[in-house]
């Protein structure tokens, strides 16, 4: 047995906040609270609100609504927000008018953004609520993933920096130097550089007479001297014991490099503790003539130039502008 059910406007608004009631001629009778947010100001008929979902012309909206028939499915596009398509159905409530009820479907995100909709604009049983919750959860997950990736990137950068840094002096270690040389010798860089190999003179007596803490302090002071002598684009590395290597970017003359080397020697002599007479011997090579796979050869040539300074009396600068010929290498002498 069936009975007629009469719903008041308040109940209809709660159950179907996206409903729209039209007269047979398309005039708007009333609309649910959410649908009212979608209506353009001054809208009087269905043509003021909708166009056909597939781009039909003006004047065919009511034909499309009538063609859907009672209980039939209907798709219409908002006239002033064309990306948003409403999907719903049509019923005849029995008083000579048409009652339409809509949902957003895949246009939900666009509609929420365009009209500032919240969960209060949908019926509690509306699937749109579930989609909104899923979207909110997805945004939260994406945010957490972004934060996690940032933390991971920073942790990786910290680990890489630590792996390339000498813990005593804070400058690059041998691994960091090799990475810097690979970048400097990359032919795509297009710039030359000078490589300075530096070894302290008379360092051993510092440890023997004054102790290793004093020797460590001197190494840190030397690193600071080298840092003051270089620019932000240059590199300073400690490759073991009292040996340091500098990469000075750009084009250099032998005269300019000799001048820099002499300033480095004076700076180191000024931080020498007591009467130990610590100085430095330098060997310098230019990158011209070296390929990206000749890092070892370049370091070896700088080492040969360094021995020339040692053998010539220490506290000196030797510049080898071109790759050193193996046949001309001097025999290493004492450091």
Q: How do residues 114-141 score in pLDDT, each as one tens digit?
A: 898 888 888 776 665 556 556 666 777 7
Task: List the structure tokens of 209.
Answer: 């007479």
> Where is pLDDT greater, at 152 or 3?
152
Model pLDDT for residues 160-198, shown as the tens digit of each residue: 777 889 999 999 999 999 999 999 998 876 679 999 999
Q: What is the pLDDT of residues 41-57, one digit of tens each?
A: 999 999 999 998 876 55
In whole angstroms, what is the distance from residue 251 CA to residue 286 CA? Answer: 9
pLDDT the model gives residue 199: 96
- The reply to whether 242 belongs to the active site is yes
Average pLDDT, the chain: 85
User: Given the structure tokens 């030797």, which residue do they identify?
Assistant: 318
Q: How confident is the model at residue 214 (pLDDT cuts 50, 70, 90)?
A: very high
Question: Long-range contacts of range 107-114, CB-CB < 8 Å, 24 or more positions apart?
Answer: 107/83, 108/132, 108/135, 109/135, 110/81, 110/83, 110/84, 111/38, 111/81, 111/84, 114/81, 114/84
The vertex-198 CA angle with 194 and 201, nearest 5°, equals: 155
303, 330 contact by CB (below 8 A) = no
Of 313, 305, 293, give the one whose Cα is nearest residue 329: 305
Strands in 317-320's sheet, in edge-to-edge order, are 235-240, 243-249, 193-201, 279-286, 317-320
181 close to 164: Cβ distance less than 8 angstroms: no
3-state secondary structure of 107: helix
Rg (CA), the chain: 40
pLDDT score at 301: 95
pLDDT of residue 332: 47
List the catalytic residue out of 13, 121, 242, 303.
242
Q: What is the pLDDT of residues 305-314, one digit of tens each?
A: 999 999 999 9
- Report whether pLDDT(211) > 80: yes
Confidence bin at 328 (pLDDT 50/70/90): very low
């Amino acid at each position: 047995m069936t009975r007629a059910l009469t719903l008041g406007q308040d109940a209809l608004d709660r159950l179907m906040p996206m409903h729209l009631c039209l007269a047979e001629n398309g005039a708007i009778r009333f609309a649910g609270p959410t649908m009212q947010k979608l209506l353009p100001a001054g809208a009087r008929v269905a043509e003021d609100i909708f166009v056909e979902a597939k781009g039909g012309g003006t004047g065919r909206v009511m034909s499309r609504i009538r063609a859907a028939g009672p209980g039939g499915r209907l798709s219409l596009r908002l006239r002033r927000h064309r990306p948003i398509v409403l999907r719903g159905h049509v019923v005849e409530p029995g008083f000579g008018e048409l009652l339409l009820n809509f949902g957003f479907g895949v246009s939900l995100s666009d509609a929420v953004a365009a009209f500032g909709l919240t969960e209060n604009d949908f019926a509690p049983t509306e699937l749109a609520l579930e989609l909104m919750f899923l979207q909110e959860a997805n945004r939260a997950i994406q945010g957490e993933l972004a934060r996690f990736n940032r933390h991971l990137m920073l942790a990786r950068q910290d680990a890489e920096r630590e792996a390339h840094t000498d813990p005593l002096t804070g400058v690059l270690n041998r691994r960091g130097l090799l990475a810097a040389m690979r970048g400097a010798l990359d032919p795509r860089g297009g710039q030359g550089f000078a490589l300075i190999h530096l070894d302290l003179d008379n360092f051993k007596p510092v440890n023997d007479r004054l102790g290793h803490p004093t020797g460590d302090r001197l190494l840190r002071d030397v690193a600071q001297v080298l840092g003051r002598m270089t620019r932000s684009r240059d590199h300073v590395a400690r490759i073991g014991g009292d040996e340091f290597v500098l990469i000075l970017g750009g084009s250099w003359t032998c005269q300019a490099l000799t001048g820099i080397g002499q300033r480095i020697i004076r700076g180191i002599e000024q931080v020498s503790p007591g009467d130990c007479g610590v100085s430095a011997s330098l060997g310098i090579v230019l990158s011209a003539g070296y390929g990206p796979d000749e890092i070892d050869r370049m370091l070896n040539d700088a080492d040969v130039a360094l021995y020339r300074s040692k053998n010539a009396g220490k506290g000196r600068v030797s510049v080898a502008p071109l790759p050193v010929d193996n046949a001309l290498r001097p025999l290493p002498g004492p450091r």
